[in-house]
Amino acid sequence: MKVLVPVKRVLDYNVKARVKSDNSGVDLANVKMSMNPFDEISVEQAVKMQEAGTASETVVVSIGPSKAQETIRTGLAMGMDRGIHVETDEDLEPLAIAKILKAICDEEKPELVILGKQAIDNDYGATGGMLAALLDWPIGSAANSMKLAGSDMTVVKEVDGGLQTVKLTMPAIVTTDLRLNEPRYASLPNIMKAKKKPIDAKTPADYGVDTKPRLKTVKVTEPEARKAGIKVEDAAQLVDKLKNEAGVI
């Protein structure tokens, strides 16, 4: 079974985001970038499946600027077999990403696509669902457990009332949540090996995909600073302030 894993290069989750002075977006100049954390989980799951013998080939895909190759190399160092880089300097929307991924799936013919449930930079969380709709494949979203049995994939996800279990007939799409696994650190020998693994260079034009934006960012602002709290002398004063000042009781 071939497994395809799309990954995204995003602002590292340890870095505090700064808004540009003109409020047009987030300032990404001279800051650390890394693989989207949910995508790391997807890569780990694909590598685990290959180690278990259920995946015969694993392919990591990234759509983005030239530096996205670094993100692909990270996936290769974690154990993926080869990469595909669709180079573009445009900040593509989920629909354009899903269309490109569909074209890649038509070409590569994977039996399973595993991707993070969302990217931490824009939090759309829409690409997986759009890709499933375009391919007309079943989808298991926000998976915290995956189990393959023959041609069926059982996916468990957390919902408000507990756990929901769905069974997907392959080929299928799965989006990953945080509790699915713990991504490994790439060892130095694997980092060196990753440099020799192949990465196919593509562009959106190679797939004939219209990447015209359908959304316009009007303004990006930082969240309002939290106001300082106060200390109260006793429970009676706390109740008084909650009732007469905050108006919550």
User: What is the per-residue pLDDT across 127-162, written as a single tens digit (0 to 9) for each?
Assistant: 999 999 999 999 999 999 999 988 899 999 998 889
Q: Tell me, what's the pLDDT at 17? A: 86
Judge residue 85's burial from the number of C-beta atoms within 10 Å of its C-beta, 0-12 exposed, 13-18 middle, 19 or more buried.
Answer: buried
Q: Tell me which residue of 5, 38, 2, 7 sits closest to 114, measured CA to CA.
A: 5
Dihedral of CA 187/192/194/199: which sign? positive
**pLDDT > 90 in the chain, percent:** 72
Adjacent-strand bridge partners of 26:
19
pLDDT averaged over the chain? 93
Q: What pTM did the predictor assign?
A: 0.86
DSSP letter, residue 83: E
Q: Tell me, what's the pLDDT at 39? A: 97
Residue 86, both tokens: 């669709």
Residue 204 is which amino acid? P
**Residue 248 scores a pLDDT above 90:** no
DSSP letter, residue 16: P
**Residue 229 scores a pLDDT above 90:** no
Q: Tell me, what's the pLDDT at 230? A: 85
Give the confidence band of 102 by pLDDT, cuts at 50, 70, 90.
very high
The structural domains of the chain, with segments of one domain joined by +, span 2-244
Q: How far is CA 101 from CA 55, 107, 170, 212, in A?
A: 19, 10, 17, 16
**Residue 51 scores a pLDDT above 90:** yes
Q: What is the mean pLDDT of residues 12-28?
A: 86
- 178-228 pLDDT, tens digit each: 999 999 998 999 999 999 999 999 999 999 998 988 888 888 888 888 888
**Residue 8 scores a pLDDT above 90:** yes
- CATH for 2-244 is 3.40.50.620
Q: What whole-number distance in Å separates Cα of residue 37 and Cα of residue 22?
A: 28
Q: What whole-number distance in Å separates Cα of residue 21 and Cα of residue 219?
A: 11
The order of strands in the sheet holding 162-169 is 162-169, 152-159, 139-149, 172-176, 112-116, 2-7, 57-64, 82-87, 199-202
Query: Poorest-confidence range of 14-23, 44-53, 149-158, 195-204?
Result: 14-23
Tell me what percent of the chain is helix, strand and coil, each rounded to the nearest 5: 30, 30, 45
